[in-house]
Structure 1
Amino acid sequence: MAGREDGNRQQETPAGAGPAWAEELLEHLRPAGRDVRRVVAWLSGAVRGSVALQDAAGNLIAGNRLPLDEDLVTDITAGRIASAAWESRERHLRLVRVEHPSHACVLAVSRETPFDRRASDVVTHTAQVIELLLTARESTAAGHRLRRATSDLRLAILQLLMVEDTVAARRVAAGLWPGLLDADTACVYVVESGPAVRDRIAEECLDSTGEEALVVRCPAMDGHVIVVSPRDATREALRSLVGRHPDLFLGGSVRQSLARTATAYGQAVSALAVAHFRPDKTAVYAERTHPERLMDPVALRGWTSRVLRPLDTLPHHTRAELLATNRLGLEFTAVNAAKVLGVSRNTVRARMERVEGLLGTDFADLTVRAVVHLALNTQIGLPDAHLASDTGNPGLRLSDLLSGPAVRTWAQDLLGRLDADARNPRRTLRTWIAAGGNAERAAQTLGVHAQTVREHVRSAEPVLERQLLAAGTDLYEVVLAHLAVGDLDVPDFHRHD
């Protein structure tokens, strides 16, 4: 393959002539040139003929289809013979068996002139190169399929955690990652990168955590990698990863029970927004005073059970499905909630509309969303038997819970931060909430431009230390503060509140 007997090494030869054909063929084994179709096209030019590569079923893999004897092709692919030759006045045909990891193929070469020694060698060695390329391609494809299946399995586990099905999540994880979800609590982290490098960052997350964490490419945000881990060492491993890359950011939750993975995810996303303003590009969700922690716990649980009582008549799995979907649907957009849950956005909307109907309310009202969000997140801690529904004062209403001294003091202190601004963003924020978060409608009420409303709401975010333009826990806490100080009316839940 490497020699030339005439000594004329400097003479230029056409493609495929002399020993140059061997060097050209070997070039196709380089990483940049591994393409079976290109090899077949090269062979056609090297032997000045027509070439076809097909499998046992007659499917053309590369080249141009040739009229071949089916019995002869069957004998070759079945391994009864390794090669065959056929001649007529018009054409000369060579068929060579090409091994394949899953099935044999036939390389057929047809040309007008007889096959000399050189042409025969070119065909034989090309068949060997194609064999190597097919094997490599099959191995690469198998690796891709395995990685894709593993990635899909991780996403399925995350989706089970998001709907609070921790038993099924543990069962699925135990087969591939024993002990991964044995703990009762975990933290959720979100690593943000550019979408183009997200796959590489996900692999680095796996390496950094020693595969002792659930690493998932976020189905809703192209640049996000979600990491769920019960191990404290994961946080430092991810911090180190972010420190090595200039364009990465990290947001983390506080430790939550596995059943509250969706809540922890929301905390991580909230912290991620803060990380963009931190020198080290990382942030952990700040544990602050939440209004529900200032309410009488027994009374809050009793109120929650009464608000959600219309759902108690549903089958257990249906009720759990509606609760989990609505919890995510209120925390994020319907589209993103659907991607996280692995269902269609119409399914998310249908489940939310069903809960609206059962509760006799309207989620277009931000005060309603905030109140239902409070009930759904309180409900996580309630036992399935809903014993809390029989505790406390059965006539207690949400307005009673919000009028407690601790809650009112918290609300006044929070909203009072806005009073120093001469633009009166507190009035704008109150009007914007009453308008369902619609800047145009709020602007009409206030007699200002819609962009002014958006600017006031945006400027209130760092003062209140909460995201307002994105639906979620931060916004709903601000809404509850308005309800507690009486700036907005407490929504009426038909018969339940």
Structure 2
Amino acid sequence: MAGRPDEGPAFQQPYGGDSAWAQELLDQLRPAGRDLRRLVDWLARTVNAAVCLQDGRGDLLAGEPLPLDSAVVADVFAGRVSAASLDDGVRHVRLVGIRHPGSGQAAGAVLAVARPEPFDRRGTEILGHTVAVLELLLGQRESAESARRLRRATADLRLAILQLLMVEDTVSARRVAAGLWPGLLEQDSARVYVLEDAAVERDRLADACVAATDGRALVVRCPAVDEHVIVVGPSAEVGERLRALIADRSGTFLGGSPRQRLALTATAYGQAVTALAVARFQPDRYAVYAARTRPAQLMDPAALRAWAAAVLRPLDALPHHVRAELLATTRLGLEFTAVSAAKVLGVSRNTVRARMDRVAALLGADLSRLPVRALAHAALNTEAAHGPYDLSGGAAGPPVRTRLTELLGTSALRSWAEGLLGRLDEDGRDLRGTLCAWAGADAHAERAAQALGVHAQTVREHVRAAEAVLERRLTAGGTDLYEVVLAHLVTGELPVPDLGVTAGTGAANPDQPDSAVQW
């Protein structure tokens, strides 16, 4: 301190009155200015030096690459020295370890500053304060990265649980969920909801669903559709909370399934997607899958189960876990595209196709044919809904033997089919004929157009019109389409196919379809 005798104490301005850099450095801590590259560039300009910031692997975080003594750098990183000064006769180099809480003695990064003139007091002071700011920014960055990794790991765990439910492995799904969400899957049944918003809003929507359900539901970013969030909610309260959530989000839609067993999560998911299509046209942007008469409800339950078991019997010689995996994959592959099924299951589309091809070969089924896919879908869903059926009869008595034509030939089923397809007759266009030709052509508009002698675009327009009349999704495939195909089989407008069953007797094995299936 110095001053004239007639004055009070006077404080000298530090560094010759140059304190502008302090304010500039302070600006680097403002929320809008927290950027490592920006800070390092500022340091380079302020001390007239080349600056390099690198991490422990030697990767450049900011600045420009500098030739450095690797041994000295290693010492700084390891914490054996906190800083080092080097002078090779051409440049003066300062190396400083950047640490942050939790890093221990080792440095999280090393800052190297090189310039032709020696470091004066001003340069040394600026460098020291900049290191302190870098420690704050790197610590904040590491905390943000840790939080991101935790969110990603949690999201991956939720997806893994959903994928286990999709393949009916409820035991493993409960075991995985128990660690983070105790009691979440204790109930044997749940509802599945699908929410839709713009893809750029999906992450915020998923976070909002997690907050709204408060640990009472499994929230998953759909791996197949970028705009969708899937929620599995055992509690009825979950649906109420999701409806309240979308009420404040004008661009969000919600579709829900009825309560289903956890083993039928894949079925419930398909129902929720169907309800979502309806929700887009509802004032409150919400819909629940409508319970309507299903063809399976109009068939004799025991006869239907016996037929389905006989169709699937060639797979019975497979190990249980292999059989379950093949059937679960095939059910999803029939309900959705192979690409979507692969994303939901977390496998490649080639894996999905390979599994479906294996099932098709064992069943002797040509799954490229739409009527065959419809029957295979019916058999798979029957077993999924009711469990395995003992074809030997066991203690319950002799086994039931039923021809498919008998199953499809009941008066109740024919009345249902005629009522469904009869809606198309009220349209002035020949929607019914076009739809039949399109289904017979395995949903190929061009082939159907050739058979009808019309343009392919006319076929597509008629099919879309039929969707509105029948209130079913047809072009997207899945349950709605298979029911319409089944209606055509019942009325005789399409021939009833087989699944490769041959006549004769003999023991069942994975390579020989069982003769108990009668057509």
The TM-score range, normalised by the shorter chain, is over 0.9
Deviation of the 1:66 alpha carbon = 3.7
Residue from 306, 310, 330 that aligns with 1:306: 310
Letter in 1 for 2:31: P
Contact 1:96-1:124 within 8 A present in 2 as well: no
Partner of 1:280: 284
Partner of 1:62: 62
Deviation of the 1:270 alpha carbon = 0.4
Partner of 2:460: 454
Deviation of the 1:395 alpha carbon = 4.0
SS of the residue corresponding to residue 425 of structure 2 reads coil
Q: 1:256 to 1:42 in 2, by over 3 A?
A: same
Partner of 2:390: 387
Letter in 2 for 1:64: E
User: 1:28-43 residue pairs with structure 2 within 5 A?
Assistant: 28-43=28-43
Letter in 2 for 1:281: R
Contact 1:302-1:389 within 8 A present in 2 as well: no
| Residues 337-361 of structure 1: CA deviation (Å, up to 9, x unaligned) | 1100111111111111111111112
Q: 1:23 to 1:310 in 2, by over 3 A?
A: same
Q: Say whether residues 1:190 and 2:194 are aligned partners.
A: yes
Deviation of the 1:85 alpha carbon = 3.3
Structure 2 alignment gaps of length 5 or more: 1-9, 503-516
- TM-score for both structures, normalised by structure 1: 0.93
Contact 2:303-2:401 within 8 A present in 1 as well: no
Q: 1:359 to 1:239 in 2, by over 3 A?
A: same
Contact 1:4-1:18 within 8 A present in 2 as well: no
SS of the residue corresponding to residue 387 of structure 1 reads coil
Q: 1:297 to 1:38 in 2, by over 3 A?
A: same
CA distance in 2, matches of 1:458, 1:274: 15
Partner of 2:165: 161
Letter in 1 for 2:379: A
Q: Say whether residues 1:97 and 2:103 are aligned partners.
A: no
Structure 1 alignment gaps of length 5 or more: 10-16
Q: Say whether residues 1:346 and 2:368 are aligned partners.
A: no
Q: 1:429 to 1:118 in 2, by over 3 A?
A: same
Deviation of the 1:76 alpha carbon = 3.7
Deviation of the 1:422 alpha carbon = 2.1
Deviation of the 1:6 alpha carbon = 6.5
| Residues 135-184 of structure 1: CA deviation (Å, up to 9, x unaligned) | 11111111100000000000000000000000000000001100010000
Q: 1:73 to 1:456 in 2, by over 3 A?
A: closer
Q: 1:47 to 1:320 in 2, by over 3 A?
A: same
Partner of 2:114: 110
Deviation of the 1:277 alpha carbon = 0.8
Letter in 1 for 2:94: R
Contact 1:188-1:264 within 8 A present in 2 as well: yes
Contact 1:301-1:388 within 8 A present in 2 as well: no
Letter in 2 for 1:198: R
Deviation of the 1:18 alpha carbon = 2.5
CA distance in 2, matches of 1:376, 1:88: 77
Q: 1:120 to 1:282 in 2, by over 3 A?
A: same
Partner of 1:221: 225
Q: Say whether residues 1:148 and 2:148 are aligned partners.
A: no
Deviation of the 1:82 alpha carbon = 3.3
SS of the residue corresponding to residue 318 of structure 1 reads helix
CA distance in 2, matches of 1:264, 1:365: 25
CA distance in 2, matches of 1:243, 1:152: 28
Letter in 2 for 1:436: D
CA distance in 2, matches of 1:58, 1:449: 64
Partner of 1:476: 482
Taking every aligned residue pair, what percent have the same amino acid on both sides? 61
SS of the residue corresponding to residue 93 of structure 1 reads strand
Letter in 1 for 2:204: R
Deviation of the 1:71 alpha carbon = 4.9
CA distance in 1, matches of 2:488, 2:60: 70
SS of the residue corresponding to residue 215 of structure 1 reads strand
Q: 1:115 to 1:258 in 2, by over 3 A?
A: same
Letter in 2 for 1:467: R
Q: 1:411 to 1:122 in 2, by over 3 A?
A: same
Contact 1:306-1:389 within 8 A present in 2 as well: no
Give the CA RMSD over aligned residues: 2.2
Contact 1:4-1:19 within 8 A present in 2 as well: no
CA distance in 2, matches of 1:93, 1:49: 9
Residue from 234, 238, 247 that aligns with 1:234: 238
Partner of 1:23: 23
Deviation of the 1:31 alpha carbon = 2.8
Partner of 2:49: 49
Contact 1:382-1:388 within 8 A present in 2 as well: no
Deviation of the 1:57 alpha carbon = 5.8
User: 1:76-95 residue pairs with structure 2 within 5 A?
Assistant: 76-87=76-87, 90-95=90-95
Between 184-193 and 353-362, the greater mean CA deviation after superposition: 353-362
Q: 1:64 to 1:371 in 2, by over 3 A?
A: same
Q: Say whether residues 1:463 and 2:463 are aligned partners.
A: no
CA distance in 1, matches of 2:438, 2:428: 18
Deviation of the 1:368 alpha carbon = 0.6
Contact 1:260-1:380 within 8 A present in 2 as well: yes
Letter in 2 for 1:348: V
